[in-house]
Amino acid sequence: MDRFEGLGVMAAAVCSAVAAVLIPTAVTAAPTYHLITTSTPPAPPVSLAPNDQGYVRVTTISQAIGCSVAAVIVACETSSDGWPARGDGKPFHTVSVNVDGELQFVDADLGALEGKVELSPRTYWAQHWTITAAADAISFTNDRTGHGMRVSTEKVDSF
């Protein structure tokens, strides 16, 4: 056998070995997967109607926070001393946020909040605001701008 014949035999042997590794002799079906749902989708928001003055009045289950919701602004108050202090050192008890997310602590009194709705932990909708209630906090997100605030007795965050 000459040199070229030997190379041809060797090349044929290598190709045969590679083909045996790369080309399967039997075809197996790919495993099939099925998606299943293991949780219930969230309930749609509960719609809250405004009172005669055009406000939706809400409160947490604990009654620690009460809020008035209007189309362009949300104002909340608490008797807690956890919010920032005024110039005289006493804490603010009222905060508001507008549709653009501008937050203001103010000296105000929202009154008796007549007609207020006690919010169970879930999602609500009022005056173009999505309201997410927890036992001790409430979040308000404006549906048009995505801005709003999260209010608890300890702090207030705007977004």
In this predicted model, what pLDDT tens digit does every residue of 68-126 receive, in sequence order? 999 999 999 999 999 999 999 999 999 999 999 999 999 988 877 678 999 999 999 99
In this structure, the strands spanning 73-78 and 94-98 are: antiparallel
- CA dist 153 and 72 (Å) reads 23
Closest CA to 136 of 46, 58, 64, 74: 64
Report whether pLDDT(38) > 70.
yes
Q: Does pTM top 0.85 for this prediction?
A: no
Helical H segments across 23-145, by residue range:
none
Span between the terminal Cα atoms of the chain, in Å: 84
- Residue 21: phi and psi, rounded to 5, are -80, -40
- CA dist 45 and 128 (Å) reads 12
Report whether pLDDT(35) > 60.
yes
Q: How many residues does the chain have?
A: 159
The pLDDT tens digits for 104-113 are: 999 988 877 6
Rg for the chain, CA atoms, rounded: 33
Q: Are 57 and 114 in contact (CB under 8 A)?
A: yes
Six-digit token string for 59: 């409160």
Report whether pLDDT(25) > 80.
no
**Per-residue model confidence (pLDDT) at position 139:** 98
